[in-house]
Structure 1
Amino acid sequence: MPNTMFNFFGRIPQIFQKWAELNLEQLRKNDWKPKTIEHLVIIEKDSQTQLELNLDKQMKAWKKNIHWVDQPPEINVTVPKGSLCDLNLRVKVGLPPDAVFNIIIDPENKRVFKNIKEVISRKVLVDEGMRQVVEVEQAALWRFLWWSGTISVHVYVDQNRKNHTVKFKQGKSGFMKKFEGCWKIEPLFVDEQLCYPDKPETVAEYDVCTAGRGRVGSILNLQQLIQPAIVPPPPISWYLRGITTKTTQMLINDLITETARLRGGASDTISEHDLDLNYNNGKHSSTSDIINIKERWCQRRRTRKNRRLRDQTL
């Protein structure tokens, strides 16, 4: 037995050499070339070039037909235990996913989003061409009812063009214990009726069945979880949720205005009363309701005043 094992291990170099020769021969037959780092860089650049060409083609389709009616976003706000709110937003946008992605990740996007007062610092930690991880600290403006102010936001952003996602997570802790979420952009086949009776499943199929005339829009999804270090009781928590929702509304308004500018059209901003808000406590099902925080606060004050008057009368 020891001799057998010794013979086996002694033959390993020959076995490995034979395996390498056979595989190299097969690779030569298939005209395969090893992917060096330089080769991978070339592939990455080719992919980016192709994406730019596709985006240019899609934008030309929008230039030929700029008709688009912006709709208010659907916003669902839940209140998980121990958190201030979990906000989920969905809105249709009249521009291709790559164009919307470009707006969101643009280092100079404070010219678009009015709630960004200043980019304090920005550092690229990972750069893989199609995917980057960026550390960002910026001063953000917030405004709600009669109040306004500035808050410092420090996040790590993982932006991936391959699947059109932008994930963000809080870096430095402070007032916020948890602040994280994800933007996800999916293609929307605006002129899908041109393909009838076929139903395209991919952008390539859609491009073929519309003979390149079909416009590609976007379905933008945002999921955002906010958890302060200390969750305040009502009515303060109502106000903070209102600030969060109002800030998100401002972001979407600014984004829609920019998309209208890029496609050469005009768009009205979305009013607060156009928002479809759904609130629940994380245990019950959502119910559609237009939540007016100011009115709720006034109603609460009136109720307390009436109760005091009733007690005094008694």
Structure 2
Amino acid sequence: MGIFPGFGGWINQNIQQSLKASTKRSEKGKSSSVSEEERYLQGPWYWNPALSPKEKAESMELDHVKSMPMFASDPKYYDSDERVRQAGLWMSENKKHPWHDEPAKVKVKTKNGICHLNIYFTLGRPPQSVYEMFTDPRNVGFFHSMGKYKNHWRTRLDTIATKVLKKDGPRQITEVEKVLRWKILGYNGTIPIHLIIDENHQKVSATYKKVKVKHMKVFEGSWKMEPLYVDQERLCKSRSHISEDEYKKCSGGKGRIGSKVTMEHIFQPSSLLNVPPISWFIRGIAVKVTKTLIQDLREHVIMMNKIEVLDPAGGK
């Protein structure tokens, strides 16, 4: 499936080396080396453009990139202030005008041993915020599994390492190594996943293809996020298609923007495993884990939107 036109040439150029770890150690005996467990700290990262030079310098003194005010997607291609404003709107409007995210609709079709998953769901955060959740390699807990494993809050999907292969405007080609933990019907295990992801930070979309995925001959797909004007009918009295600027104007800046997420995932077990009943078991695990990861995202966003915002006077 040709989801990466001209992609081979980009990879062969190998024009950009792995980004160095953003972690800066103090001079008081701390090692500057990056451990095997911290390889994912290598980026890619983009500083919050709202930071002053002083704030950026102070942030560089932090020991861990998880604590740094950085983005995984390039803020040149969206309004970071508007994203923050929308987050506040979602939290402040939740009680007065609750919004219920649409559960994921997953259509599964298998043909010639290749399984196609077409997925659609909604989330109560703007497309750029949702895109950041999909691309952020800092393991910040979007895909959690509390109580499922020995270590509480251990994530189902961890990023181990990242490497930017090409950056061309809003387009970024990233090599990513992940580990996926699964548990189904009393069985559990881990699957190493090595991917190349072709991201577009302006179109908030991406395609991906395997370098190597255990037990998989084919493993590729895509995702995209589109704006969902959840308060349009209530505040704008209109059901017709409008732009984001028109929505902001007619809603008086009080309209929340959610996301319509469309995903396609295609996989095929390796030849020796692509025979019944083994192939049924592998497909069952793949579909179940995909649905679980999506549900993790939904629960994370629902939880965030339930946080109550305090006004400057100390009231709610």
The answer to whether TM tops 0.5 is yes
In 2, distance between residues paired with 1:221 and 1:106?
Answer: 18
Worse-matched range after superposition: 164-173 or 241-250: 164-173
Per the alignment, residue 240 of structure 1 pairs with: 282
TM-score scaled by length of structure 1:
0.64
Say if 2:124 and 2:301, in contact at 8 Å, map to a contact too.
yes
Moved over 6 A (4+): none
What aligned pairs does 1:221-240 form with structure 2 within 5 A after superposition? 221-230=262-271, 232-240=274-282
Equivalent residue number for residue 55 of structure 1 = 83
Unaligned runs of 5+ in 2: 1-48, 50-72, 145-154, 309-316
Please point out which of 219, 223, 229 is paired with 1:179.
219
Kindly state the Cα deviation for residue 174 of structure 1 after the two structures are TM-superposed. Answer: 5.4
RMSD: 2.6
Instruction: Work out the CA distance in 1 between the residues paired with 2:74 and 2:279.
Output: 50
SS of equivalent residue, structure 1 residue 242 = helix
Structure number with higher helix proportion:
1
Aligned residue identity for 2:277: P
Bigger Rg, structure 1 or 2: 1
Cα displacement (A) at 1:226: 0.2
Q: CA deviation at 1:128?
A: 3.9
- Does the aligned pair in 1 maintain the 2:268–2:274 contact within 8 Å? no
CA drift at 1:50 = 5.3
TM-superposed CA distance for 1:176, in Å, is 1.5
1:143/1:211 CA distance change after superposition, 3 Å: same
Report the Cα distance in structure 1 between the residues aligned to 2:130 and 2:83, rounded to whole angstroms: 11
The reply to whether residue 104 of structure 1 matches residue 134 of structure 2 is: yes
Once the two structures are superposed, residues 43-81 of structure 1 have per-residue CA deviations (whole angstroms, 9 ceiling, x without a partner) of xx9962851022123223212212222332110000021
What aligned pairs does 1:145-184 form with structure 2 within 5 A after superposition?
145-172=185-212, 175-184=215-224
Change in Cα spacing, 1:46 to 1:153, as seen in structure 2 (3 Å) is: closer
Q: Give me the identity figure in percent.
A: 35
User: For the structure 1 residues 244 and 72, does the alpha-carbon distance in structure 2 shift closer, same or farther, using more than 3 Å as the test?
Assistant: same
TM-score calculated relative to the size of structure 2: 0.64
> 1:107 & 1:80 partners in 2: Cα distance?
33
Question: What displacement does 1:201 show?
Answer: 2.2
The verdict on how the C-alpha distance between 1:152 and 1:110 changes in structure 2, with shifts beyond 3 A counting, is farther
CA deviation string 1:271-297 (max 9, x = no partner) = xxxxxxxxxxxxxxxxxxxxxxxxxxx
**Residues 116 and 138, structure 1, Cα contact 8 Å, conserved in 2:** no
SS in 1 for 2:249: helix
> Which amino acid in 1 is paired with 2:134?
I
